[in-house]
Structure 1
């Protein structure tokens, strides 16, 4: 095999480029002290605060309610119940605090003495009482306090959670005589976990309103409504909370020593090749036998959540990678394996996303940098658990390695 000086110099530069990361790692590795470990926090209370678009939820429910008016205590308890509904959306700002906006209401039944909202049906003629019925709606803002998370720490798979809440709102009748009043609310928001994104919700609410709300003023200054609804709440992605983590550094001294020996051998080979280049200035070199292939080092290209678009930064690294592949004429095949984060998305979605990521890297290498398609093999693994440092971001990736 005959090589001229220019070809040998190109081989030396290429090998030097490949060895640089190993030598750099070796020099930095000398700063790592034996038995040095960064401890990961495992406390149950600290969490990482999510962004504004995380931890939103929406829900709806239906049930029954009782209105406590001036004369309603004179009715039998079974006659006071009327249908109720509620619809709401909100956001959790931490595992312990959430804010929601809600609308609800429907129909109120009771008794009236002055004929306000009367149905005309006499209930007690001796007291001039007739049955009362009117429609109303209520809009309110509530602050929820998740005492289960506050007292027990956040647990993603907790089946039951209790969240007392306080709120303020506006109640208005839609039948004549109309009325509108400010309401003060207190309640208990009970959730039962059905899945990671869906909860069964039992909402028990008490609302206080001015005595004149039903069109009749009595001795009490306030009247109230107690409503209980059962429904469902859906939590949008991103949901849940992550505990603060730091990278844990650990190593095997024997494996580290073997790696250092290997790097030393590579460095000696590189020095020998450079000496060969220097000696070739005044002579012609023939029959140079390279016993080892020049392989491109494995690379990891990561992607944003739910994305398969290759960033410009990743393209720069792929360009260097492509130069090494094209410079090696042995025809080594490289496998492009796509991955997705198992904790995000369904199994079907993760299969499609991991495949799309591998194909995106393939298209960049072939179409932009001219890597022969026969030297690339595409594979995908779908959603996987955290592969590196317990960090889900490093699982949204494509790993490229020689076969």
Structure 2
């Protein structure tokens, strides 16, 4: 019954894993994380079976669930993912094993440990693209290391390979199902392979195991998408195009006003200045004028004010979509003061200039047009 339950459990998990739909996400590149990101710790319990080099020719039962060749074990590992598809893991496992000499094997227990370094290949991320919300990750691994039988005080070198299945419970915890094979020199079970033929499978001690455990991701466990350079370039170009369009509109308006001033009679000019404020624009959160070309129209107003001894009103504004009200009020006052100083530089008496900060507004579209100061002749 025990054999049947274990086999059914493995089969059920495999069927559930394979039934999971491939993630319908578009593949994209990820940015490299810092060295201290994407570390993990694993703990697990396993059922391991030994196929010793000494049993060659004995025609023993091969089932990994026979008492004379199997027993429980434990494992702990620490590792790091360097990319979503490639990682390294240092794994320590062992404690209880069997030295297989016959099908009775009475008292032939062997305490041991195996320390392996594994290269991990997350094929789910490699083939389907990185997806932080993926539930199942299929991770083959391979490596090698050193082992020791504590019962017989012997050491051995060997290789290791297997498949790790991770089922994510949360961003930092996953359930593991691992199947592995450790192939070590013939004395890891305490019996050196003396006088036995060295051929194929029987030339080494083989340890097969099935393991259930948990993975705990430490710190940051995700990967950021690499910025889309083409999209950024396209966005920058669209912004440049929009600024060029604004500049062209401003130049056209400047030309219109110059023509108007040249052709209109003084009375008509006075009316136009009174009813049409001249705007000067600013960049986001700035108090210096964005373009000196905006001062062309201001010079015309300054000239009129000086020649006719008229007073000027300067109103400052900020856009209400950004910044807090208190900051926008200060920003609007500073912008009005900046334009007033320009008028003084043009020869207008400071006594004839009134400034006012109007805080954040949303009168104009696009938002950037609200970042301005206006100059007009006082009524």
For normalisation by structure 1, the TM-score amounts to: 0.53
Secondary structure of residue in 2 paired with 1:150: helix
Answering whether residue 207 of structure 2 is matched by residue 225 of structure 1, we say: yes
Answering whether residue 262 of structure 2 is matched by residue 273 of structure 1, we say: no
Pick closer, same or farther for the CA change 1:322–1:270 going to 2, 3 Å. Answer: closer
CA–CA distance in structure 1, aligned partners of residues 360 and 247 of structure 2: 25
Pick closer, same or farther for the CA change 1:241–1:298 going to 2, 3 Å. Answer: closer
The answer for the alignment partner of 2:73 in structure 1 is: 84
Match of 1:60 among 27, 30, 43: 43
The answer for the alignment partner of 1:324 in structure 2 is: 334
The answer for the alignment partner of 2:88 in structure 1 is: 99
* Structure 1, unaligned runs of 5 or more: 1-41, 114-122, 301-317, 335-400
Aligned 8 A contact 2:136 2:166 in 1:
yes
Residue 141 of structure 1 deviates from its aligned partner by 0.7
Secondary structure of residue in 2 paired with 1:151: helix
Answering whether residue 171 of structure 2 is matched by residue 158 of structure 1, we say: no
For normalisation by structure 2, the TM-score amounts to: 0.56
CA–CA distance in structure 2, aligned partners of residues 149 and 332 of structure 1: 52
* Structure 2, unaligned runs of 5 or more: 1-24, 197-201, 254-277, 281-292, 338-354, 362-370, 373-379
CA–CA distance in structure 1, aligned partners of residues 126 and 70 of structure 2: 35
Answering whether residue 317 of structure 2 is matched by residue 294 of structure 1, we say: yes
The answer for the alignment partner of 1:184 in structure 2 is: 159
Residue 188 of structure 1 deviates from its aligned partner by 0.6
Aligned 8 A contact 1:58 1:88 in 2:
yes
Pick closer, same or farther for the CA change 1:91–1:254 going to 2, 3 Å. Answer: closer
CA–CA distance in structure 1, aligned partners of residues 356 and 109 of structure 2: 88
CA–CA distance in structure 2, aligned partners of residues 329 and 137 of structure 1: 81
Pick closer, same or farther for the CA change 1:321–1:67 going to 2, 3 Å. Answer: farther
CA–CA distance in structure 1, aligned partners of residues 118 and 250 of structure 2: 64
In the TM superposition, 1:41-60 aligns within 5 A as: 44=27, 46-60=29-43
The answer for the alignment partner of 1:143 in structure 2 is: 119
The answer for the alignment partner of 2:187 in structure 1 is: 212
Residue 296 of structure 1 deviates from its aligned partner by 7.0
CA–CA distance in structure 1, aligned partners of residues 221 and 336 of structure 2: 42
Secondary structure of residue in 1 paired with 2:33: coil
Which is higher, the Rg of structure 1 or of structure 2? 2
Greater relative CO, 1 or 2 (CA 8 Å, sep 6+): 1
Aligned 8 A contact 1:112 1:130 in 2:
no
Pick closer, same or farther for the CA change 1:73–1:131 going to 2, 3 Å. Answer: farther
Residue 63 of structure 1 deviates from its aligned partner by 2.1
Residue 58 of structure 1 deviates from its aligned partner by 2.2
- CA-based RMSD of the aligned residues comes to 4.2
Residue 95 of structure 1 deviates from its aligned partner by 2.6
1:111-155 per-position Cα deviation (integer Å, ceiling 9, x unaligned): 447xxxxxxxxx75xxxx533112211211101122222222222
Aligned 8 A contact 1:170 1:181 in 2:
yes
Aligned 8 A contact 2:182 2:207 in 1:
yes
Residue 271 of structure 1 deviates from its aligned partner by 3.3
Residue 333 of structure 1 deviates from its aligned partner by 7.0
Pick closer, same or farther for the CA change 1:67–1:329 going to 2, 3 Å. Answer: farther
Residue 262 of structure 1 deviates from its aligned partner by 7.1
Aligned 8 A contact 2:319 2:360 in 1:
no
Answering whether residue 169 of structure 2 is matched by residue 194 of structure 1, we say: yes
